[in-house]
Amino acid sequence: MRHVTMLDRLIAELASRPPIEADLPERPFAAVALLLAPNPDQLLVIRRAERLGDPWSGHLALPGGRQEASDQDLLHTAIRETVEETGLRLERSWHQAVLDDLAPVTPVLPPIVVRPFVFRLREAVPPGLSGEVAGARWVPFHEFLMPGAFRESLISVAGAPRSVQGYHLDDGLLWGMTERIVTPVIARWQEISTR
């Protein structure tokens, strides 16, 4: 019988409650993939390429993007976008949970709804890069919990200064909707680790 790990327990808890779905039918949808792997427990984070006119240009993020008409569902969107951005081909069977829908709280960002999908990989497979992604790294959960990693920062959003909460990682600042997706997952993992 396989040993139940903290990552297994985390995923079971994430999957145990139905996600809150946004009732915003007029908005386009997007999907992101939270790729989790063990030894140590870690999450794949990408850094988006610098592109003129892209409101998320250069940001740390999760693989993902807008739903296309050819996508059979949002899970397909998350899988398609992950392979396009990182070269990692996900199996539908690796999908473990769906998290709550999120919408931007910043009025300068496009009105969109993002649905996060959780995947469990057996190991941290090295990601590739694409024209959309300038960097990608598996970030151990403990890095998110290091003293001072999560703090307030002053950044420029659409040319205006803005104070935001986020994770200061070696690759940059992880903030905004990505932070809103990641924080509850990391908090749940930390809580499991102290039981």
CATH at residue 117: 3.90.79.10
Helices 176-193 + 6-15 axis angle, to 10: 120
Residues 6+ apart with CB under 8 A from 67: 28, 29, 30, 31, 74, 77
Q: pLDDT tens digits for 78-98?
A: 999 999 999 999 999 999 999
Mean pLDDT of 116-134: 94
Q: Give the model's pLDDT for residue 56.
A: 60
Give the domain extent around 96. Answer: 6-141+180-193
Structural domain includes residue 148: no
Residues 6+ apart with CB under 8 A from 118: 11, 14, 15, 34, 36, 95, 96, 97, 98, 99, 185
Q: What is the pTM of this model?
A: 0.92
Structural domain includes residue 166: no
- As a whole number, the mean pLDDT across the chain is 91
The total number of structural domains in the chain stands at: 1
Structural domain includes residue 121: yes
Q: pLDDT tens digits for 7-41?
A: 999 999 999 999 999 988 889 999 999 999 999 99
Q: pLDDT tens digits for 97-114?
A: 999 999 877 666 678 999
